[in-house]
Amino acid sequence: MISIHLRRTGAKKDPHYRVVVTDSRAARDGAFVEILGHYHPRFEPAKVTLDVPKTKAWIEKGAQPSDTVRSLLRKVEAGQIEVEQAVSPSRHRDASKHAGIRAAAPAAVAAVADEAKEEEVADVEEAATADPGVEADKE
């Protein structure tokens, strides 16, 4: 069964939580399917970043929210908690940096391969134009 619950992060005595979709049998801080948002209870008022449409879509698919997540959703819908819009991973600063590296990697590999081919061709051309008598002396 799929559940939506809080996954603890942060430091000792300063908890932060991720709202995640996970298998209900998984450990609290174990593997998850998707991050839906963040919850920081130590702020006054509590700071919530949540992708509400995605959360509702998962609930419609049959995911069961934990009591705390259900309470957060009720408070968000009632307007008691102001929600910051969740940033999709593709637009997140670090994710875009890594995506750029991944996009540049194939081009870099191709450039190195092209350079190696050029060096190989130059070596073959040099060997072909070399004086044949010099090679005979080496033997």
DSSP 14-49: EEEEEEEEEETTS-TTS--SEEEEEEETTSSSPEEE
Percent of the chain with pLDDT over 90: 8
d(CA 104, CA 99): 9
10 Å CB burial of residue 66 (0-12, 13-18, 19+) is middle
Do residues 65 and 77 lie in contact, with contact meaning Cβ atoms separated by under 8 Å? no
Q: Is the pLDDT of residue 23 over 80?
A: yes
Does residue 7 surpass a pLDDT of 50?
Answer: yes
* Of residues 71 and 110, more confidently modeled: 71
* Residue spans per domain, the chain: 2-86, 91-130
φ, ψ at 25 (rounded to 5°)? -85, -15
The structure's pTM equals 0.57
| Percent of all residues in the chain with a pLDDT value above 70, rounded to a whole number | 65
Q: Residue 91: what pLDDT?
A: 46
Beta strands in the chain (DSSP E): 2-11, 14-23, 34-40, 47-50, 64-65, 83-85
CATH number of 2-86: 3.30.1320.10
Cβ(1)–Cβ(23) below 8 Å: yes
**pLDDT tens digits for range 34-93:** 888 998 888 887 888 888 888 899 999 898 999 999 998 888 888 887 777 655 554 444
